[in-house]
């Protein structure tokens, strides 16, 4: 969760600082405090906790409750500031994150992008040899790729959110590109192709990996993070370092 919140903060820092400096200062400071609170949580042997077959149910009084509580606070701050990254927030109304169903075009783009990302991460997790349906943060409900959802958290702002902001700010997606039915929004066929193309371009974009120091695509970074997680779980490395950007 430190990786996710750090990358959300970096995206806000990059885009919000130029457009709304006063708003930027407050949100960035609040996020920094939450990230530091996560870092200061005491290390607890999670193996000593009772097994939770449904993941985020029955976590009251456990370290996981504190982690998810802080993550929830940070994500709420991030999504509250999300409209300020858009050049035309009056056109792209964003009331906050709504998942099922997405009640506005921006949420429709985010939800669809997160679904694509989850599918990609599920494939990577299986490639590395994990069972994608057994996670450590998200609930392990039937048919839910909990581990893939855990691993994709730090990549949400870097891959999906940044693409959504770019497409809206560059007028590559318009209000007419959505179908609305009973308050639920979905992309039409041709705009969906543009969105998928932009996501695929982002997956192929190269960046310097913060641990290994060489340039690789974002898709390859996801695989490397899965392999780092495997090494941590098997005791080959002392801790898992999330993927973060500068």
Predicted structure pTM score:
0.87
Strands in 164-237 per DSSP E: 178-181, 184-187, 206-208, 215-217
The alpha carbon of residue 36 and the mean position of all alpha carbons in its chain are separated, in whole angstroms, by 19
The residue among 91, 90, 96, 64 whose CA lies nearest residue 77 is 96
- Check pLDDT > 70 for residue 142: no
231 in Cβ contact with 136 (< 8 Å) = no
Domains and CATH numbers, the chain: 2-233 (1.20.120.920)
CB under 8 Å to 173, separation ≥6 — which residues?
105, 109, 167, 187, 191, 194, 195
Burial of 92 (0-12, 13-18, 19+ CB in 10 A): buried
CB 141 within 8 A of CB 55: yes
Residue 187 main-chain phi, psi, to 5 deg? -70, 140
Chain-centroid distance, C-alpha 210:
18
Do 1 and 67 contact (CB within 8 A), yes or no? yes
pLDDT tens, position by position, 75-122: 999 999 999 999 998 899 898 898 778 999 999 999 999 999 999 999
What's the Cα-to-Cα distance from 113 to each of 65, 129, 234, rounded to whole Å? 27, 25, 32
Each residue of 159-211: pLDDT tens digit? 999 999 999 999 999 999 999 988 899 999 999 999 999 999 999 999 998 88
Average pLDDT, the chain: 85
HEC string of 6-68?
Answer: HHHHHHHHHHHHHHCHHHHHHHHHHHHHHHHHHHCCCCCCHHHCCCCCCCCCCCCCCHHHHHH
For residues 171 and 92, what is the distance between their CA atoms, to the nearest angstrom?
11
Predicted pLDDT at 162: 97
Alpha-carbon distance of 66 to 79, in angstroms, equals 20
Instruction: Map tokens 């000593």 to a residue.
Output: 48
Angle CA(55)–CA(147)–CA(126) in degrees, nearest 5?
145
pLDDT band at 20 (very low <50, low <70, confident <90, very high): low
């Amino acid at each position: 969760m430190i990786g996710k919140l750090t990358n959300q903060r970096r995206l806000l820092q990059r885009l919000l600082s130029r457009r709304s400096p006063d708003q930027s200062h407050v949100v960035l400071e609040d996020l920094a405090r939450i990230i530091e609170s996560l870092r200061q949580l005491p290390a607890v042997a999670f193996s000593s906790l009772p097994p939770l077959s449904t993941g985020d149910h029955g976590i009251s009084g456990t370290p996981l409750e504190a982690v998810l509580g802080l993550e929830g606070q940070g994500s709420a701050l991030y999504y509250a500031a999300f409209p300020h990254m858009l050049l035309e927030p009056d056109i792209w109304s964003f009331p906050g994150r709504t998942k099922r169903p997405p009640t506005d075009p921006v949420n429709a783009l985010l939800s669809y992008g997160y679904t694509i990302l989850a599918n990609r991460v599920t494939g990577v997790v299986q490639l590395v040899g994990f069972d994608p349906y057994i996670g450590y943060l998200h609930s392990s409900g039937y048919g839910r790729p909990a581990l893939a959802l855990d691993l994709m958290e730090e990549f949400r702002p870097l891959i999906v959110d940044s693409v959504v902001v770019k497409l809206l700010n560059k007028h590559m997606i318009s209000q007419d590109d959505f179908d609305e039915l009973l308050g639920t929004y979905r992309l039409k066929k041709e705009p969906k192709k543009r969105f998928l193309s932009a996501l695929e371009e982002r997956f192929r974009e190269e960046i310097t990996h913060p641990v290994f120091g060489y340039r690789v695509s974002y898709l390859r970074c996801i695989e490397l993070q899965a392999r780092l997680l495997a090494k941590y779980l098997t005791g080959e490395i002392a801790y898992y370092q999330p993927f973060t950007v500068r």
